[in-house]
Amino acid sequence: MAIATETQTQQEIQQTSQLQAVAGGIAAPEGFQVSGVKAGIKNMEKPDVALIVSQVPATVAAMMTTNVVKAAPIQWCQTVLSQQSKVSAIVVNSGNANACTGKQGMVHAHQMAETTASALGLDLHQILVSSTGVIGVPLPIEKVLAGIQNAATVLSDTADKAEDAATAIMTTDTYTKQVAVTVEIGGKIVTIGGIAKGSGMIHPNMATMLAFVTTDADIEQSLLQKALQESVADSYHMISVDGDTSTNDMVAVLANGLAENQTITEENEDFAKFKTALQYVNQTLAQQIAKDGEGATKFLAVTVKGAATKQDAQALGRAVVSSSLVKAAFYGEDANWGRIIGAMGTAGVNFDTTLVSMTATSSQGELEFLKAGVPLPFDEAHAKQVLSEKDIAVTIQLVDGTAQATAWGCDLSHEYVSINGDYRT
């Protein structure tokens, strides 16, 4: 099986890896039921409490926020994961982060787990808890607990319930983020599905994003964690909207083994297939997050080639998509490529600055800025046309090695300020 590279499109990855896109999102894998209900936390006519449940205990892998300030649900999950290698359910609320809420916040996280366990007939420590929304406001716990009890009564493996769950975890997102694929592993069809939320406070090393992935693959916990960490490095850690990170971000994968493939216990071909499929799911969700950046009008894919190491390529790409000046230039459709190379210089990476080549491409054509360190003249009208499109790819060619990586981001608009200026009110 061919292993996908960082610069392949999602369609190319799907084709080279023999992945099949399927409907159903997070409910697509065998043995998972989900729901999303309106509990009134956000005072909107949309779901704001979600449940994700495996019919059998599932092997779990997770990664949490790198922010020193960690919300109560994150602390609850860290405790559970330090003691358990399998869990059965994830409960999520949006509209309130339950962060910086003191001892009461931990009480509320415990109550969310306890109510979920009681409603599903599970042990308390089989439940992961997640929250997202406004920081520093006590959780309206009675609404949340009533929502959990309601959600437990309407669990299903249907696509509409997956959509409800994906909606229930959103905050400033403008659309749901879902994906599901199948791949053949050991003669069995394995399915991986996922949902995510994220629109603002998005930055490398994760951010105010949540991602939940389910799979019916049978895989050892250590290898599931390894696959997740490597996948996150090339997906959620390679996106930036605004340079801020949050107190609540997490990504969790549940693998219940109901596909009945031979247990993946070593880094063999089966593991490679699983990891590629997981990478496809996480990269798709990460790109959807970047495209839905708060107030965004452009989706930027920045590929760095010819770096000395993959880590260098990643750092340079992240520096470009994280730059407020670069993002503002793309919003203004201004071909100010000097901001791009200036951002590269802040990445802490040594590279030959005298031989850099750079192009921007959209459906309106290609715009070559720099070739082997020599600035190239370009037509401003053509440049404006190329940069007027929503999807723009920037390719940066170095001469320091053979490594490459792609980072994703968006522009920085007036609307971003408007959204965040009145987010709490």
- Pair 309, 278 in one domain: no
Q: Which domain holds residue 63?
A: 10-291
Residue 238, pLDDT > 90, answer no
pTM to 2 decimal places? 0.83
Q: What percent of the chain has pLDDT over 90?
A: 73
- Read off the CATH number of the domain in which 347 is found: 3.10.20.340
For residues 261 and 116, state if they share a domain: yes
Q: Please count the residues of the chain.
A: 425
Same domain, 258 and 308: no
Is there a domain that residue 1 lies in?
Answer: no
Asked if residue 338 and residue 236 are part of one domain, the reply reads no
Q: Among this protein's residues, is 208 annotated catalytic?
A: yes
User: What average pLDDT does the chain have?
Assistant: 89
Strands 210-215 and 250-255: parallel
Element (H, E) at 244: none
| 369-404 pLDDT per residue, tens | 999 999 999 999 999 999 999 999 999 999 999 999
Number of domains the chain is built from? 2
Which of 121-125, 253-257, 296-300, 307-311 has the lowest average pLDDT? 296-300
Report the candidate in 202, 229, 398, 371 with the shortest Cα–Cα distance to residue 317: 398
3-state DSSP assignment of residue 240: strand
Both 261 and 194 in one domain: the answer is yes
CATH assignment at residue 210: 3.60.70.12
Determine, yes or no, domain membership for 3.
no
Stretch 92-112: mean pLDDT, rounded?
96
Query: What pLDDT is recorded for position 294?
Result: 59
Q: Is residue 345 part of a domain?
A: yes
pLDDT digits (tens, 9 = 90+) for 151-174: 999 999 999 999 999 999 998 788
Interatomic CA distance for residues 25 and 29, integer angstroms: 8
Which member of 171, 208, 303, 395 is catalytic?
208
Question: What is the mean predicted confidence (pLDDT) over 22-41?
Answer: 97
Min mean pLDDT across 208-212, 231-235, 239-243, 301-305 is at: 239-243
Q: Are both 193 and 316 inside the same structural domain? A: no
Confidence grade of residue 120 (pLDDT, cut at 50, 70, 90) = very high
Domain shared by 284 and 383, yes or no: no
